[in-house]
Chain A
Amino acid sequence: MNALVALCHFCELHGPRTLFCTEAVHPPSPSPPQPGSAIPGDRDREADREGEGLTMRANSSATQRADMCEGCRSLPASHPGFVSVDSETGIRYLSHQHPRQPQLFSVVRQACVRSLSCEVCPGREGPIFFGDEQHGFVFSHTFFIKDSLARGFQRWYSIVVVAMDRIYLINSWPFLLRHLRQTIQSLQDTALKVFDNEQCVCPQRAVRMNSAFSPAVFPHQRSGNAARSLTSLTQHSNLWASLHSSFSWLLKACGSRLTEKLLEGAPTEDTLVLIERQTEQEEEMSGWDCAEGGGSNPQPSQSESVQPKDFQFDDGRQEDLLGPKFKSLRHLRQVLGANDFRQLAWHVLMGNQVIWRGADPGLIQSAFNVLKALLPVGCVRAVSYSPHYEEAYRCNFLGLSPDVPIPAHVSSSEFSMLVDVLNVERGCVNPVSDDDILSLYQFNISSANTQPTDKGPTLLNKIEVALSNENLSVEVVSLCLLCLKEEWMNKVKVLFKFSKVDGRGKEDTQKVLACA
């Protein structure tokens, strides 16, 4: 809980004192706020001091060490205090006589003084909540502890829980009351036994009745009596260590009293596929360890090993290869021209095999990288550069070196297309900028497809609109693509569920498609 707990005592000689304080120190924030964010309410020093009030100020000077007696002290000055660490969260619970965090010192002091000498509780024992924005908010429980030597045979204490979160502190009232009562009861019971024992040995009432009252002796006596510590009142030598444990526990338990169950959206299809792949890979890896010399080793250099982190573009490898590259779909479109791009994109979306043949593997790979964005991750099987033809069931993106022949069944198929990347003969040997791909290469597109590619699908039309609008940044285009892909994936899910799972007729399928 974002709070601290302190045990306070109203010393007969020195007034209200903080005896023992347990605070929670949180680990550094997991997410530092962005620079430039300012928190309002820069505090006004004047207002701060004014808030202290006359009583407060008079008392705050009384923290002088010379002014302390046994009753005002918990741990000896040399004691280092206690710490407990919550290993799960890294929160450290620290106990000392006074709070370690300097900004909390006056807050606790205020709480202590108010709980023991300002606020009024009927019957003097019981819970009160009080506070304001300036001094923090306090749940206080006052109580008496028996002391055979004290005036009225009892001493007055309070346990305060201080927090800035007013609402949470009030929300926690029933919880805090329940548990602090337990703690207080335990202290009172223990002290009562000690009291009873002491009274048996030496009944104080009788002593006091018999001793002649003398004004000269009285104050001296009193001051001597005032010096009893809570440890001596309870005869509990580990009292402070135990209280540290109790208070730390209270802070932890109160902070985790309520938890939220907060749901996120389902992961995108792409994420799901990647999670699946990763699991498979991990399983395979462990499989390899067992099976020695398994027959056909997959070729990781060719098959795309996609990591969830960077599935959209695996820039890492692309950087390795020198030479010009396609930077984005829009760039590709500019280079190929609207018509050729349309054809190319059409084949990609239709799931046909797209073969690029040329001497520059870097260029071809960059083309595949940008084209991949058109498809769901699960639909991408790329062999970025191969010395021989690979069948369509193995890959829908295939890069080939210039001299690799395309089998006849492929070149005559309407389900494939070929982009030949040809070097442009040029006299000039000036280093050419990467942007200027056309000055280096020429692209020949061929396919046996006879269907018109300029009509649909709607998805492609929408993609083209986004790509052709120069006002849209690359980021906007990629988000638009994401929208479109998700939209279409959702349609596909419905269609799949409808036709495959439930096995319906064509008419109903049309209806479903109309509404999805």
Chain B
Amino acid sequence: RGPIMLFHLFNFMTCVSLSFSWASSEFDLAQIRLIVCQECERRGRQVLFDSKAIHKLDASEPNPIVTNSSEKEKPPTYQYTRPASDVNMLGEMMFGSVSMSYKGSTLKIHHIRSPPQLMVSKVFSTRFGSSTSGSTNMYESCFLSSAICSHSNPVDMPSRGHSEDGDSGIARSASLSSLLATPLPSPGSSFSSGCASSYQRRWLRSQATSLQHGPMPRWNTEEMFSLSDESCSSNPAMIRRKKIAISIIISLPEREEENHNFQEFFFSHFPLFESHMNKLKTAIERAMIVCRRIAESSQRVQVYLCRVMEALGEFRMTVWNLYMAPLISEPVWLSMISQSTERNLLCQRFLKEMSLLMDHGAKSQFLSALLTAVLTHHLAWVPTVMPSSLPPIKTACQKPASQTVDLLAKSHPYNPLWAQLGDLYGALGSPVRVCRTVVVGCRRELVQRVLYILSYFIRCSDLQEHVQPQGQMENPDNPTNPCSSQTTDPTPEKTFPPKPDPLKPTACVIEKALNPESVPGTSVEQNNDTLLTDTKSTNPSSSLESSTVRLECAEMGQECFGEDSDSVGGGLEHILANQSPLLHRVQFHIGSPRETENEGQAGDLSGAGCGRGLDRKLHQRLLTDIRRNESTDSALGDSDDEETSLQELYMATEQKEYELPLPSYHVESRASVNHFGRSLLGGYCPQYMPDFALHGISSDLRLKQCLMSDLEHTVLHPALDEPVAEALCIVADTDRLSVQVVTSQRRVCEGGRLGRDVMVSNLVHTLITSALQLYALNIASDFCVMHLEDRLQELYFKSRSLAEYLRGQTRVHVKELGLALGIESSDIPLLAAVASTHSPFVAQILL
């Protein structure tokens, strides 16, 4: 038995525990510094906290401040020293040299060259309760001089949720998730491709972040810094123009390569960093509110410092964990779709590990319960089994790559990293839920086995990076180098065909066109003049064509959209109208009365004036069904003459652009390293981590402490940058062989337990059993994996029957489903969750 065990162990070591982590060297916690600053109109800037200026006092030293020695666990005591010399400069960077009147939160990132540091700041407007307004001076005073501040205002009912009234999770999810819920067509009806839901999600994202719709405050615009538990709504007059900035300053590694690696990691994982900054902000708010209740000043300082330091410690630890934690070196799904050569080997390993685990937890149906939970909540597997209309590629799991999504990404770019994050957290259903899975157990190899198996079922897309090769960056003909012809002698033979060389024909002629003096005899100058005065009678292209400049008509109306319009304005308008219903925001966008005056006088030819004319037309023609805004009408000015003249000017100036070829560029494609599929599938970690989509830990002690608040935080500040209705965590305990689901929505569970036990889905159980039986009968392992995929596809088909059955119904009994569709009650949660990815209405009927 010994050798066999050893063999297993060896095998296991090779495939599982060779975990890797990002950093090549230690990441020092003190490299992360926190500064809290405030700025107000009357007194300028004050530092409210600077971790660099705070020192922990040794517990053995006599402590004059904390006198209450009867307490068993003394909180650490801190001492404040002189603020660091760079604080003034940093404060200037946080707030900027000119105060902005914008009320929402502002995000800033600075790069400081020496010593190399990154600074991330969030600047908030403050919010006071009516009774405690104007009392922030106590923070700087208690921080800066520990002077006695007599102000104290005990507030009896501290309620966290209350202070967040403006941006409660409910209000938010009601807005965008309803949007996400409505426009999904049922797959098959309007999409031939199976990736309907993936496609839809990405398309909506590209629209929601589109520049063409102008700024669109989405959901956290009113985020403020609360200085009181109370809502300020009772007395709006008390709002002061005071801002608080929270800055995290990260010292960058000295070594060039490490520095580069950390920066790549930091910027690609920014949503996670930001989410933790928000958590830190909440803790600082709390610290300020709590310490205000303490009358004794020195104690108040200690409480304040203690709390903020504790929160900073947590932030540092989380960042450290994120960067340093062991990761699954070879997540099964991502490896399978990226490496075609080792596919067979991978399948074999995967099935072997799965059958070992199946045997291990057979009695309690541990694996079936775990996979039921994972398949129900980490829903990204669904699009990977939705049948395609394309023939499969042999190398990629016998699955075709989505062409529609590929095309979308090119024409309507969205952030692939965002899509991946949503995949991993399973945020594909409706309403949007995010889920993580934590595997707890003291037997390391068992936990790692579970993690390895789950890395097949918790799926996401694979990312490729396309960058210029190192050598080409220095190439003077690189498209990013606008002065190439000036700096070097253009050599006739180039390996790359990059930017248009001014010496080549097109550009040459343009030069002539732009400088008519240099080419005697061309009529360009005159032509321009004519254009200004009379658009209709002139045909600019004919005269320009004579000098071989290829003029491209810029009227999208004609070219792009096949619409024959007589003016550019009409064309543009048409585009705007065609884009999407998002359009109607445009009407509120431009033209405050004052601007109208200014531009009217100036007769400005620029976009604003034209925009206003256009805006008005849009308003009149297209927006009749949209909520009218009276002030919009009046703001647009009432002189029709003015409008028409602006319109004419617009048409006169906006002619046809010179077309230049788009520079081609040579890129190297490689597998992306800094992506969530690599960074959020954790290994057996020393500590519980709130970010990972999957990871293992030895003890659930810390998990129990943090989980509920982490889930609540996720709902309030989702790293996904999209409203989330519910946050979940699957906790699989390999010691007790239990699987529980913890949710942000249910606070209290029977018997003081974290969550609810998972009901094993019969479909999932037979699915695993079937695949493993085939494996046991020595059928080729890649066939067994394909069979597993086929069975997962069956789940998808069943979910479609279910969705179709529920369409148009209001209430359905579980029993009825059993009779009509042969769906067992144990399968309903799973099938309903799957159905919600393609048929959002299911949520309203069943969930």
Contacts and interface: CB of A to CB of B under 8 A. Distances in A.
B209 A40 contact: no
B32 to A, nearest CB: 18
B10 interface: no
Given A102-B607, A103-B590, A259-B409, A239 B482 contact: yes
Given A128-B109, A515-B774, A186 B483 contact: yes
A263 B660 contact: no
A355 B106 CA distance: 76
A262 B215 contact: no
Given A237-B515, A246-B480, A511-B777, A256 B402 contact: no
A514 to B, nearest CB: 8
Given A33-B183, A40-B176, A83-B552, A479 B800 contact: yes
A94 interface: yes
Contacts of A48: 588-589, 592
B184 to A, nearest CB: 8
A218 to B, nearest CB: 26
Contacts of B107: 129-132, 137, 166
A249 B468 CA distance: 12
Contact of A49 (B388, B485, B582, B592): B592
A492 B473 CA distance: 56
Interface in B546-585: 552, 554, 556, 560-561, 572, 575, 578-582, 584-585
A103 B589 contact: yes
B466 A483 contact: no
Q: How large is the interface on A (under 10, 10 to 19, 20 to 34, 35 or more residues)?
A: 35 or more
A61 B658 contact: no
B667 interface: yes
B502 A265 contact: no
Contact of B667 (A4, A236, A253, A512): A253
B465 interface: yes
Interface stretch (B11-19, B433-441, B787-795): B787-795
11 contacts: A2-B413, A37-B183, A164-B211, A171-B270, A183-B482, A241-B660, A242-B484, A245-B479, A260-B420, A266-B789, A486-B794
B478 interface: yes
A92 B385 contact: no
B500 interface: yes
B676 to A, nearest CB: 11
B253 interface: no
Interface in B62-109: 89, 92-93, 96-109
Given A84-B660, A259-B416, A515-B774, A129 B108 contact: yes
Contacts of B675: 258
Given A129-B107, A166-B107, A263-B337, A29 B466 contact: no
B216 to A, nearest CB: 6
A178 interface: yes
Interface residues of B, number: 209
B804 A479 contact: yes
A27 interface: yes
B609 to A, nearest CB: 9
A301 interface: no
B220 A133 contact: yes
B531 interface: yes
A465 B33 CA distance: 68
Contacts of A42: 584-585, 588, 627
B141 interface: no
B486 interface: yes
A444 interface: no
B348 interface: no
Interface in B10-39: none
B203 A29 contact: yes
A475 interface: yes
Nearest to B106: A132
B769 interface: yes
B160 interface: no
A331 interface: no
Contacts of B215: 43, 107, 133-136, 164
Given A61-B598, A245-B499, A263-B402, A122 B390 contact: no
B136 to A, nearest CB: 22
Most chain B CB inside 10 Å of its own CB: which residue of A104, A135, A172, A238:
A238
Contact of B337 (A36, A261, A471, A490): A261
Nearest 10 A-B pairs (CB), nearest first? A102-B611, A103-B214, A165-B209, A264-B388, A249-B479, A40-B175, A515-B773, A83-B657, A78-B528, A265-B385
Contact of A32 (B483, B580, B656, B794): B580
Interface in B765-806: 769-770, 773-774, 777, 779-780, 783, 786-787, 789-791, 793-794, 796-798, 800-801, 804-805
B499 A265 contact: no
A93 B419 contact: no
Contacts of A120: 92-93, 96-97
A404 interface: no
B499 A246 contact: yes
A106 B608 contact: yes
A243 B400 contact: no
Interface in B620-659: 627, 629, 631-632, 635, 653-659
Given A126-B113, A133-B221, A483-B798, A516 B770 contact: yes
A472 B667 contact: no
A259 B556 contact: no
B111 A272 contact: no
A38 B179 contact: yes
A182 B614 contact: no
Given A170-B267, A267-B392, 20 more contacts: A2-B210, A28-B560, A43-B589, A51-B100, A66-B602, A80-B540, A84-B659, A89-B410, A90-B560, A93-B662, A103-B590, A114-B96, A118-B100, A133-B218, A171-B270, A237-B514, A241-B511, A249-B480, A266-B385, A472-B821
Interface stretch (B194-202, B224-232, B304-312): B194-202
Interface in A275-324: 275, 308
A511 B774 CA distance: 9
A294 B215 CA distance: 67
A516 to B, nearest CB: 6
Contacts of A252: 662
B158 interface: no
Contact of B207 (A29, A105, A234, A259): A29
Contacts of B337: 261, 263
Contacts of A137: 107
Contact of A45 (B572, B584, B588): B588
A98 B410 contact: no
A77 interface: yes
Interface stretch (A52-60, A208-216, A346-354): A52-60
Interface stretch (A335-343, A431-439, A494-502): A494-502
A203 to B, nearest CB: 23
A91 interface: yes
B737 interface: no
B185 interface: yes
B146 interface: no
B235 interface: no
A85 interface: yes
A251 B127 CA distance: 39
Contacts of A39: 179, 208, 216, 581-582, 585
A29 B101 contact: no
B634 to A, nearest CB: 11
Contacts of A53: 98-102
A195 B838 CA distance: 63
B824 interface: no
Given A245-B499, A258-B463, A263-B397, A253 B211 contact: no
A182 B409 contact: no
A497 B781 CA distance: 12
A30 B787 contact: no
Given A63-B604, A512-B774, A83 B391 contact: no
B602 A122 contact: no
B510 A241 contact: yes
